[in-house]
Amino acid sequence: MAWQTEMTLITRVLINDYVQPYTYDDNRIQELIILGGMMTQLETDFLRPYTFDVANLVLSPDPTDATNGKDYGFICIASLKAACIIQLSALKDKAKNAGISVSSDREKIDTTNSLDGDKFLINSPYDVCARLDDAIWKYKSENYQAGYALLGPLSTPNLNTNSFVGFYDCNSIFMPYNSIGTILNK
């Protein structure tokens, strides 16, 4: 299927594993793409529902098929999720072998700082997992029906719109606040 070529390449670029010899096998990345798709479909409504079979590497319908219209949201979010899983797994493996710290009266040997760069990247906005959260938020906010935030399933017919500002959170709940920060309609 076309998704196996396209999404595997996207994931390889995200994890910086696109020059041979590869660190990760294609089948392993494809398993993680399917797993990432399964996990993100639980929290995001994509253009179409997908079915997954990790054992047989089946993702249906093909999100990269141009005849049905490519589902760019699914392609990007599932690839980012797979890259996030790989990144966290690699950090976990590196942490197990991070090094030792030994000191005596006048000498000190410390090889534990080899994780500092990885920890910095994990906590930075350039982190794949942080970009995944941003992508899910952006996809959700751009793909809901007009007015959904104001007239969603939790809105009330007698909501006073003159005295609140609101925000739209990742759980699809519009929380109205008045001008001093108190939640209205508890």
* Ramachandran area for residue 181 (φ above 0: left; ψ -120 to 50: alpha; else beta): left
Label residue 63 exposed, middle or buried (CB < 10 Å: 0-12, 13-18, 19+).
buried
Distance CA 18, CA 30 (A): 14
Instruction: Please state, as a whole number, how many other Cβ atoms lie within 10 Å of the Cβ of residue 98.
Output: 15
Can you tell me whether residue 101 is helix, strand or coil?
strand
pLDDT tens digits, the chain, 186 residues: what are they?
699 999 999 999 999 898 999 999 999 999 999 999 999 998 888 888 999 999 999 999 999 998 988 999 999 999 999 999 998 888 777 766 666 667 777 777 766 666 565 655 566 656 777 788 888 888 887 775 544 444 455 555 554 444 444 443 333 344 444 444 444 444
The letter for the amino acid at 70 is K
**Does residue 125 have a cis bond before it (omega within 30 degrees)?**
no
Distance CA 183, CA 69 (A): 41
The letter for the amino acid at 186 is K
Query: Is the whole-model pTM more than 0.85?
Result: no
